Structure 1
Amino acid sequence: MGRKHGIFSIQSEEVSISTKKKAVKRNGITIPQALETIYQQMRIAGNRSRTIESYDYIFNQFVRYNKLEYVEDITADSIYDYLGSLEVAQQTKLIRLKSIKAVLSKFHNNGWMKQKFWSTIQVKIDKEIKKGAKANDIEKLIELIDQNTFIGFRDTVAILTMYKTGIRIQTLGELKERHVDYENLTLNLDGSILKNHKFLKLPIDQELADLFKVLIKQNKKIRSYYNTKNTNIIITQNGLPISNGRTSNNAISKQLNKYSKRFGLENINAHAIRRGYAKKLLEAGASIAIISKALGHSDLAVTTQYLDLDVEEVAKDLREYL
C-alpha cells in the first residue's frame, strides 16, 4: 500500500493531472452520413419524398432512443430495446420495424453492414379482417352531409371519387384538372401521383364528371379570392391543396373521421372506402387480376390479402358448391 504521509504526501493543489482518455478515432461511417447517402439514392431511384420522410422520422427516433452514432453501433438488441419502449399497438410496431429494416437493408447493400441480423426480428400481430365500406353506408353519409357549403360539397365529391374509382387518398390529394377526360369519361392518372409509378386509366360515370365540373368552377372562385395557384380538384377552403404529400392524414381523412363520429358510422375512412370499391368489383364478377390493376397493386398476392373474406362469408359461399 502506498504511503500518504510526510514526504510521500502530494498536495493536490500543487499539480493537476489530466485524466481524460484520448478519443479513439473510428473509421466507420456515421449514421447521418449513411442516411444522407441512401436518401440521395432513393431520390435518384424515384422514391417519393413522403416515403423518405417517413423512413427518416422513424429511423432517427430509433437512433435517438439508443443514442447511436455509427452504423456499426446498431445491433439486434438496440432494435428490440426500441420496439419494447413503444407504447403503441402491435400493428404500429410492425410498421416501425419494417421501416427500420428497409433502411438497414440499404446500409447492407452499400457494404456498411456485413450481416442482416434484423431479418429474423418479427412483430406478431393477430390478423384482423378489415371490412370495406358498404354502399348503403356511403349513401347514408352523402345524404347527411350539407352539400350547400363548399366543404360539404367538396367532401361529397371526394367520397364519391374514392368509392367509384378506388384511388388512394394520397392520389386524391394530387388529382389535377388535367387528369379528367370528359369526352371518354376516364381518369388518366400518370405515374407521378400513383404509389406504383405506373400510368392508370380508370372509368368514371357521367354523374362524377358533372360533379367535377361544378367543383372546379367553385374552386376557381376560391383560388381567385385567396390568390392561390394550383389546378388540384380537391382543395381546402383557403384554395390550397389538401395535402403536402408528407402524410395521408389530410383534410379529407380528418373530415371522414369527423363524419364517422358525428353520424355514428363505424366503417367510414379512406381505406374502408377503397376496400368497399374492391369488394364491389368482386361481387360484380370482376377477376382478381382486374381488381389488382384497378387498385394499382404491385402483385396479385397483395390484392388477395386485400379482399380477405371473414370465416362466415367463406362458409356461406362454399355451401353453394356442396
Structure 2
Amino acid sequence: MSDERSIKRRRTKVEKRANDSTDIQPMALEPAFHYFITAKIGEGIRDRTRDDYSNTWRYFTGWLAEENYDVTYVHEITTEICRTYIHYVTVEAPRYKGHKYIQTDQGKGLSAATINMRIRGLKVAFNFWYREGFVRKNPMDNIRCQKVDEDKIKSFTDEQVEALLGACDQRSYVGFRDYVFQWTLLDTAMRMNELLSLKPEDIDIKTRSVTLAARFNKNRRVRIIPLSAETVKLLMELIDENRIHFPHAEKVFLSCYGDEVQDTQMNKRLKYYGDITGVGKEIRSTAHTWRHTAARNYILNGGDPYTLMRLLGHSSINMTRRYVQMTADDVRIKHDQFSPVKKFRTRLR
C-alpha cells in the first residue's frame, strides 16, 4: 500500500467546439424575421415599435438585394456586411427615398437619429436569433450608435407662441379646435398621440386633471396630468360643441366631419400655422416643439425638474434634462435674479 494519499483532482474544462453543420439551425431571412416579429408581438410591443422593426428589416434586406449580396440565411450576415450598411445609410443613402409626397432630391445621408433607430432594431433582432440558435453570434455586437447633438432641440419663443395661437380662426370649428389643441399642448406638455386619444370622461373637472391610460404612455403607466382652469374651460367648450354637432363622437378632438383626428392630419394643421405666421421658417411647428416649449417654460416659471419629469412621463431625469434647453437669454435673466453676489453687494454698500 502506498504511503501517499489519493487526491481527487479537478478535470480540465473542455470548451465546446462549434460544428458548422450542427451548432445552429439555418433560417432564411424572411421566415426568420416573421418568427422574430411574431414573438415580439406576443411580448406585447406597441404597434409603432412593430412598424419600426418591420421598416428597419425592409430597408436592410432591400439594400442587400440592391448590392447583390449572396445571403440566404440570417447566420450568413456578417459584421462586415452590417458595417458596410451603416456606412451606406450614413453617407450614400438618398434622403426620403420612396416617400409618397417628397420626390425632389433632398441630399444623401440619413440623420443620426434615424440611423440609430435602425442600429437598435437590428441589434434586437440578431440578439433574438442568437438566443434562438439561428446565428452563432450577433454581428451587431460591436457596432455602436452614432453620437447625436442634444443641443439641437429648440422651443418656441413667447412671440412665436402668441403668433401661432393668434393665427387660429376661432370663429370656425376647426380653428377653435386647433387653438384648444395647441393651448392644451402648452399647458400639459402631452404627446401628440396622448392628446388625440383624449375622451371627455378622461377629464376630471373637480380635480382639474386628465387621466391617461397606461396603453397610451411609453412607460405603460397610468399618468395623471393637472390642467389649468383656462384649459379646462376651453376643453369643456370644445366638448359642448362636439355634442351639438357630433353627438355620437367619443374623442375630444375631431375633424370637421366628426371623425377622429389622426396624427398626420394634426401635424399638417400645426405646419400650416407655422407657414402662415412665418414661424415655420425659424423652427419646426410640431407637437414635439410645443412639448419642449412647455417643459422649458415650466422650469423658467419656477417649477422643479422632478415634478416636470412626472408630468412628461419620463422614467429618468436625464431624459427630462434634454427637454429643457435654456437659451443664452434665459441663463442671463436667471443669473440676474439669483446671482450670489447680489446679497454681498447690498451688505457691502
Both proteins in one fold, TM over 0.5: yes
Q: 1:124 to 1:189 in 2, by over 3 A?
A: closer
Cα deviation for residue 86 of structure 1 reads: 1.8
Report SS of the residue matched to 1:140.
helix
For 1:174-185, list aligned pairs within 5 A. Answer: 174-185=197-208
Unaligned runs of 5+ in 2: 1-23, 66-70, 95-109, 342-349
Q: Report the equivalent of 1:60.
A: 58
Q: Report the equivalent of 2:42.
A: 44
**Whole-angstrom CA distance in 2 between matches of 1:137 and 1:312:** 16
1:239 aligns with 2:258: yes
Say which of 80, 85, 90 aligns to 2:83.
Answer: 80
Q: Runs (4+) of structure 1 moved beyond 6 Å?
A: none
Q: Report the equivalent of 2:74.
A: 71
Q: Report the equivalent of 2:3.
A: none
Q: 1:216 to 1:308 in 2, by over 3 A?
A: same
**Whole-angstrom CA distance in 2 between matches of 1:56 and 1:298:** 26
Cα deviation for residue 264 of structure 1 reads: 0.7
**Whole-angstrom CA distance in 2 between matches of 1:165 and 1:202:** 7
Cα deviation for residue 200 of structure 1 reads: 0.7
**Whole-angstrom CA distance in 2 between matches of 1:103 and 1:92:** 17
Say which of 317, 321, 325 aligns to 1:300.
Answer: 317
**Whole-angstrom CA distance in 2 between matches of 1:306 and 1:132:** 9
Q: Deviations over 1:66-96 (max 9, x none)?
A: 1354221322333333331422333332333
Q: 1:103 to 1:311 in 2, by over 3 A?
A: farther
| Conserved? CA contact 1:158–1:252, under 8 Å | no
Q: Report the equivalent of 1:166.
A: 189
Structure 1 window deviating more from structure 2 (124-133 vs 282-291): it is 124-133
Q: Report the equivalent of 2:273.
A: 259
The alignment-based identity, stated in percent, is 22
RMSD: 2.7
Report SS of the residue matched to 1:102.
helix
Report SS of the residue matched to 1:207.
helix
Report SS of the residue matched to 2:36.
helix
**Whole-angstrom CA distance in 2 between matches of 1:282 and 1:111:** 50
Report SS of the residue matched to 1:232.
coil
Say which of 277, 293, 316 aligns to 1:276.
Answer: 293
Cα deviation for residue 282 of structure 1 reads: 1.3
Report SS of the residue matched to 1:117.
coil
**Whole-angstrom CA distance in 2 between matches of 1:208 and 1:97:** 41
Cα deviation for residue 219 of structure 1 reads: 2.6
Q: Report the equivalent of 1:5.
A: none
| Conserved? CA contact 2:74–2:134, under 8 Å | yes
Q: 1:64 to 1:200 in 2, by over 3 A?
A: same
Cα deviation for residue 233 of structure 1 reads: 1.1
**Whole-angstrom CA distance in 2 between matches of 1:98 and 1:310:** 32
| Conserved? CA contact 1:129–1:310, under 8 Å | no
**Whole-angstrom CA distance in 2 between matches of 1:237 and 1:190:** 26
1:116 aligns with 2:135: no
Q: Deviations over 1:82-137 (max 9, x none)?
A: 33142233333233323333333333343433433313324344443312223442
Structure 1 window deviating more from structure 2 (233-242 vs 35-44): it is 35-44
Report SS of the residue matched to 2:274.
helix
Report SS of the residue matched to 1:188.
strand
**Whole-angstrom CA distance in 2 between matches of 1:191 and 1:82:** 37
Structure 1 window deviating more from structure 2 (146-155 vs 114-123): it is 114-123
**Whole-angstrom CA distance in 2 between matches of 1:178 and 1:111:** 49
Q: Report the equivalent of 1:128.
A: 151
**Whole-angstrom CA distance in 1 between matches of 2:124 and 2:323:** 22
1:215 aligns with 2:218: no
1:104 aligns with 2:126: yes
Say which of 53, 70, 93 aligns to 2:115.
Answer: 93
Q: Which amino acid aligns with 1:113?
A: V
Q: Report the equivalent of 2:220.
A: 197
Structure 1 window deviating more from structure 2 (104-113 vs 210-219): it is 104-113
Q: Which amino acid aligns with 1:273?
A: W
Q: 1:98 to 1:145 in 2, by over 3 A?
A: same
Q: 1:111 to 1:167 in 2, by over 3 A?
A: farther
Q: Which amino acid aligns with 1:237?
A: C
Q: Which amino acid aligns with 1:214?
A: E
**Whole-angstrom CA distance in 1 between matches of 2:327 and 2:81:** 38
Q: How many residue pairs were aligned?
A: 289
**Whole-angstrom CA distance in 2 between matches of 1:275 and 1:146:** 25
1:187 aligns with 2:193: no
Cα deviation for residue 238 of structure 1 reads: 2.6
**Whole-angstrom CA distance in 1 between matches of 2:233 and 2:333:** 40
For 1:1-12, list aligned pairs within 5 A. Answer: none
**Whole-angstrom CA distance in 2 between matches of 1:102 and 1:49:** 16
